[in-house]
Structure 1
Amino acid sequence: MALVGFLALTALVLGDWAPIERIDVTVSDGLRGYGTDHQRLVDVLRVATDIGATLPFVAAGVVVTVALLLRRHRREAYLCAAVTVLIPVLWGIMHAVLHRPRPPDGFVFVDSNGFPSGHTSHAASAALVAVLLLWPHLARRGRALVVAGAVALAVFVGGTRMLLLAHWPTDVLGGWLLALTVVPLAARALTARAHSHGRE
């Protein structure tokens, strides 16, 4: 479902579908006004938004992968490694080939194409992997807290990218959908592989 949504959104964005452009411009104009009136918040978000940058994402992925391997949780380690590689690679390819300008005169300057949002896809992917890794080991209350934290992280980073005018809202939506596509597919592929090996 997420894959269909991502592909549909990509087609609409690249086709310059007028309703999407109107939504993007309207929301971004409102956020521009809000950011202009709240410069201190903008200054804080310029720093905070980088928790979703590529370097922290990859570094955290490597650390968690190694830790899982040392504890002999191989399937979980493979999932973490796969997502750590796939998300930046796919995002990088799409930024190279999908020519979509970012909002003009943003509160941060980024010299690259905008769709989908890399920070958002990194944060959402990390959040999803955390839920998948921790879910089997937690009781109901712990699971609720982890899910709430994961959603908060993904929404926060996506929100910062919009408020800083680093991305259009649909770029952020694309980042969420990319994560919702890649992480479950990677998890299913690894589960199927484990089951097939178990039957041998």
Structure 2
Amino acid sequence: MTTRTTRTALRRLGARRRRADRRFGARLLAAAAVAAVSAVAFGLLLTLVEGEWRPLRRVDVGAARHLHEVAVRHPAWTGVLHLLSDRVWDPVTLRAAVAVLTGWLLHRRAWRLAAWAAATAVAGGLVGVLVKAVVERARPALHDPVAHAPGYSFPSGHAMTATTSFAVLLLVLLPVIPRALRTACWCVAVVSVLGVGFTRVALGVHWFSDVLGGWLLGLAVVALTTWAFEAWRAEAGRQRAPVAEGLEPELTEPAPER
């Protein structure tokens, strides 16, 4: 009877492991697919931008002119845009938040997660700068501008930094966020990422396609680093978990004794 019970328990354990492996494989595949789709979409967009595809150019110019007219006629609205773009969602602010988060993870000795957060933020920044230098796209030149920005235009550094930063913050902190608040946190992150892009176009310092390129490139970077982290976690024999639980569900456990 004992032998039969043991065999049954082993079969159940094996079945659970196989299900966990399938879920883990699906997550890795999904991350790779997101990275591939984002990279391909970014490559296509870059081709259209470099080739000055007329339909895309019309969208860029139309959005820039319309939103600029609104900004010129409504100084108070423009002030709000500046506050959001240059203070709340500024890349320096978001990178500082990721840096603080990385420091907290190091304090908790979550070494791998800290490395992932730092690598994602740094990779996003470097890739963005490199692509800007290669493409060398000029920023919008509007009559009576309400804002100025240095450097090249494509892709939007604000949009890319927002995408990578909010992804890092969410994927790290989800385990410690109460379940009742997780949907609200996702909504704040999505609205913030979209809002960053809107402010950059509305202030006349980026074309719409710049912002779209920043979103796509940021998403590709996050997907690639997440895929690498998941593979790393599997090799270390750590428990698999759904994305809704964050990258490291063990973060809710007490920090190791020093």
**Would the TM-score normalized by the shorter structure come out above 0.5?**
yes
Q: Note the C-alpha offset of 1:138.
A: 4.3
Partner in structure 2 of residue 55 of structure 1: 92
CA distance in structure 2 between the aligned counterparts of 1:122 and 1:78, rounded to whole angstroms:
17
1:142 aligns with 2:181: yes
Partner in structure 2 of residue 44 of structure 1: 80
1:18 aligns with 2:57: no
**What amino acid maps onto 2:129 in structure 1?**
G
CA distance in structure 2 between the aligned counterparts of 1:2 and 1:83, rounded to whole angstroms:
16
**Contact 1:130 1:150 survives alignment (8 Å):** no
Runs of 4+ in 1 over 6 A off after TM superposition: none
Instruction: Provide, for residues 160-180 of structure 1, a one-character-per-residue CA deviation record: whole Å limited to 9, x for no partner.
Output: 101101101111111111111
**What amino acid maps onto 1:62 in structure 2?**
A
Count of matched residue positions in the alignment of Structure 1 and Structure 2 = 199
CA distance in structure 2 between the aligned counterparts of 1:110 and 1:148, rounded to whole angstroms:
28
Partner in structure 2 of residue 151 of structure 1: 190
Q: Note the C-alpha offset of 1:56.
A: 2.1
Name which of 107, 110, 116 aligns with 2:155. Answer: 116
CA distance in structure 1 between the aligned counterparts of 2:209 and 2:196, rounded to whole angstroms:
14
Instruction: Provide, for residues 115-156 of structure 1, a one-character-per-residue CA deviation record: whole Å limited to 9, x for no partner.
Output: 010011111211111221233444543221111010011011
5+ long unaligned stretches in structure 2: 1-36, 239-258
Partner in structure 2 of residue 82 of structure 1: 119
Q: TM-score under structure 2 normalisation? A: 0.72
Partner in structure 2 of residue 174 of structure 1: 213
Partner in structure 2 of residue 127 of structure 1: 166
5+ long unaligned stretches in structure 1: none
Q: Note the C-alpha offset of 1:93.
A: 1.0
Q: Note the C-alpha offset of 1:65.
A: 0.5
**Contact 2:128 2:155 survives alignment (8 Å):** yes
Q: 1:136 to 1:4 in 2, by over 3 A?
A: farther
Structure with higher Rg: it is 2
**Contact 2:39 2:216 survives alignment (8 Å):** yes
Partner in structure 2 of residue 192 of structure 1: 231
**Contact 1:53 1:118 survives alignment (8 Å):** no
SS at match of 2:237: helix
Q: Note the C-alpha offset of 1:25.
A: 0.7
1:67 aligns with 2:104: yes
CA distance in structure 2 between the aligned counterparts of 1:99 and 1:59, rounded to whole angstroms:
27
Name which of 118, 132, 152 aligns with 1:95. Answer: 132
SS at match of 2:109: coil
Identity of aligned residues (%): 36
**Contact 2:149 2:205 survives alignment (8 Å):** yes
Partner in structure 1 of residue 141 of structure 2: 104
Partner in structure 1 of residue 71 of structure 2: 35
Instruction: Provide, for residues 16-42 of structure 1, a one-character-per-residue CA deviation record: whole Å limited to 9, x for no partner.
Output: 111110111111111111111111111
Q: TM-score under structure 1 normalisation? A: 0.92
CA distance in structure 2 between the aligned counterparts of 1:138 and 1:62, rounded to whole angstroms:
19
